[in-house]
Amino acid sequence: MAKGGRAPVRLDANSKKIFSRLMRYLFVDHKGKFLFACALIVVSALASVGGSMFLGIFVDQYISPLIGQADPDWSGFVGALCAMGGIYLAGVVCNYTYFRIMVVVAQGTMKRLRNEMFSHMQTLPLKFFDTHTHGTLMSRYTNDTDVLRQMLSQTIPQLINSTVTIVGTFCMMVFYSATLTLVAMIFVVGMFLFTQKLAKRSGGYFLQQQRALASVNGYIEEMMSGQRVVKVFNHEEKAKATFRTLNEDLRVNATKANVLTNVIGPISNNIGYIQYIIVAFAAAFLVMEGNWYALSIYGFTQGLGGALTLGAIVSFLNFVRSFNMPIQQVTQQFNAIVQAFAGAERIFEMLDAVPEDEGGDVTLVKVTKTGENWYEEREDGDLWAWKVPDGSPAGHHFVLLKGDIRFYGVTFGYEEGKTVLHDISLYAKPGQKIAFVGSTGAGKTTITNLINRFYDI
């Protein structure tokens, strides 16, 4: 159990289902754009790795040979410098392009999701809105969709970029020196375990923060819409006390989540600095004491028997410096994923809510009588009647609307265990006017809701 009573959040099988469902929404309209953006992300990551690799070649083949020459030939140097600049420029262009594409993809996906949410909401029964405050539902259209947008436009591209960078950088580190890679990985493993632990602990608080924010929004909306009732019953102090409690819960969870997250960066950076210094000392030691211990594949390709070159050391140190950042970014994105999945779960809960049953094919229409027969009229009908499908040649028959309402022993409650009406019997004859009189909470509005069949009994 995490400190503070919050269990670490883990991505379970349900999270995989949520992610799969979310990706289906993304692929409906933007599959081509997304795949193209993924290709650009891979190219951008490989350009970063290739630039660091080319830096070592640049030092060994275009800088070291020129040292000490009276009349050096700069033509190769300038060409290599332009080539290295071209590699980094390609990465920048790919970065810019895929960021723009993912913004379009994310916004388009959120638009489709919001449209589907609103359309589905129109089909839900009133009991759904009795169990969900208006502010909570509004939070699904705003806060929950916003964290989903951030995951689609930022988190997913960052994870792909970081994964390619980590794999590519690790392969190049082994290529340059297996020994130094082993030294560097000791710190990397420690850094990863540390940041992952903090990220999981803070993930629980981020999840609670999202729920607390929805509760605050719901309570504010409820108080604003019911402000007259609050003032009539002199409920101001009680309302303020309840809001302070909800607001404090939001503050506590948000503070704990962000404190844990904010310490990841500084601590990881300091571990990275220590790692860089120790790897640099290890490289210097290998060079001075017989650097064939470095086990450098690059050194074998240069005919040096596995020894390190100056360019190899420069490239390797550059890889070490750039290797830690993707790992830190991956662990920091864990909280964004947790928040996004929490938001998606609430959104899909709404989309999966069972629509209201229309109760059959009987419809209420205007009718007029000609002779012995009744006919449906679109606008000028004299009376209202129920249009009931049957097996007759016309396919239906009409039952005049009389307004004869009868309740027999009706017991009803909006929530299980909370009865509003108990064994109520009443009737209203056609044309009869009846007034419901009673104190607040007696069930007057409930009876009206049942007459209108907002709830089935």
pLDDT confidence of residue 5: 41
Neighbours of 211 (CB within 10 A): 16
- Torsion over CA: 146, 149, 153, 154 (sign): positive
Bridge-based pairing state of the strands 421-428 and 405-412 = antiparallel
Q: Which domains does the chain have, with CATH numbers?
A: 13-177+296-352 (1.20.1560.10), 359-401 (no CATH), 406-456 (no CATH)
- Torsion over CA: 146, 150, 151, 153 (sign): positive
Rounded-to-integer distance, Cα 381 and Cα 396, Å: 18
Per-run averaged pLDDT (10 residues), the chain, 457 residues: 42 75 88 94 91 82 72 75 88 93 92 92 83 81 88 90 91 84 86 76 76 84 80 84 91 84 78 86 76 58 60 85 79 76 88 79 79 73 79 79 83 82 85 81 82 76
> In whole angstroms, what separates CA 413 from the centre of its chain?
36
pLDDT confidence of residue 9: 46
Rounded-to-integer distance, Cα 414 and Cα 221, Å: 21
Which residue in the block uniquely carries the two structure tokens 């913004």?
103
pLDDT confidence of residue 8: 43
Rounded-to-integer distance, Cα 407 and Cα 428, Å: 9
* Predicted model pTM: 0.70
pLDDT confidence of residue 293: 57
Using alpha carbons only, how large is the chain's radius of gyration in Å?
A: 34
Rounded-to-integer distance, Cα 146 and Cα 340, Å: 8
Rounded-to-integer distance, Cα 384 and Cα 396, Å: 15
Greatest alpha-carbon span in the chain: 119
pLDDT confidence of residue 109: 92
